[in-house]
Amino acid sequence: MSVATRAGIRAGLIELRQSFTGTALLAQLFWPLATLVAIYFLRDNPIAGVGLGSLILPSSAGMFVALGMLLTAQHLAADREDGTLLRAKATPTGVRGYLTGKLVLISVTVLAYLVILLVPGALVVGGLSADATGWLTFAWVLILGLLATQPLGAMLGSLVRGSRGAGVLSLPVMGLIAISGVFYPITALAGWLQAIAQVFPVYWLGLGMRSALLPDDAVAVEIGESWRHVETAAALGAWALAGLIVAPFVLRRMARRESGSRVEERRAQLLQRVG
């Protein structure tokens, strides 16, 4: 293992400890728990033989994997603003280590969200039924999903201007989630909206998670009444491949532009806004 990879894992673990202790922990718990509460209240609306809550539970798991994209973008934007990235750049192989650290941090954070969501969810909401094949599906959808969304998030984070820009990003992502069949079966939407949703990873992550965790009857509300594993793998795989090919260029360009005076410029802008 290279020094940069090892240092990156170390950084990831240190930042995980920071984000899952003290008051930071409460902020981490808020979204998965809030989602869980919403699902609980919807648990009895029956659709295709299963409760809506049971349908949303695995869909939200997919959504949280996709939200890793926003987390990555936010971290990158903030780290550029406060000079973390500049420091990485001033260190031999530091940028590689930095990105590895973020990958570890966001991936484990997403995993933690899934555990917080699914373990109590399975007990309280119920309706899940996963066998060994189901968990295998869960695993490959999760891994492909992380690979599809994080390079994308890193690119978005390097293109936006500062942490405010990263905040603006969450609007289109929320819109995308709304049309991706997370909170209601996508087949209830207009055809053109379905078509848009199927371009992006959020829908496929939800579908993949539902196929892994729901009983077979639930397939009735899906497009073509099929779990479409091949298409899921192809769509997520394509995003992952594109991201892994393009992201290094975008990130290198971003890193190349960092310097002390740019960090200083952003600091001055930020102080102006505050003052």
Residues forming contacts to other proteins in the complex (CB under 8 A) are 3-4, 6-7, 10-11, 14-15, 18, 79, 82-84, 86-87, 89-94, 97, 258-261, 263-264, 267
Nearest distance in Å: CB 27, other proteins = 13
Neighbouring C-beta atoms of residue 224, cutoff 10 Å:
9
Please identify, using beta-carbon distances, which residue of 21 and 45 lies nearer to other proteins: 21
Token output for 23: 């008051």
Please identify, using beta-carbon distances, which residue of 16 and 146 lies nearer to other proteins: 16
DSSP string of 101-151? Answer: HHHHHHHHHHHHHHHHHHHHHHHHT------HHHHHHHHHHHHHHHHHHHH
Please identify, using beta-carbon distances, which residue of 93 and 187 lies nearer to other proteins: 93
Nearest distance in Å: CB 250, other proteins = 18
Residue labelled with tokens 């930095």: 98
Please identify, using beta-carbon distances, which residue of 81 and 222 lies nearer to other proteins: 81
Nearest distance in Å: CB 127, other proteins = 39
Would residue 102 be called left, alpha or beta, if left means φ above 0 and alpha means ψ between -120 and 50 degrees?
A: alpha
Nearest distance in Å: CB 213, other proteins = 35
Nearest distance in Å: CB 113, other proteins = 20
Please identify, using beta-carbon distances, which residue of 172 and 260 lies nearer to other proteins: 260
Rounded Cα distance between 101 and 97, Å, is: 6
Work out whether strand 46-47 and strand 50-51 pair parallel, antiparallel, or are unpaired.
Answer: antiparallel
* Type and span of the H or E element at 209: helix 201-213
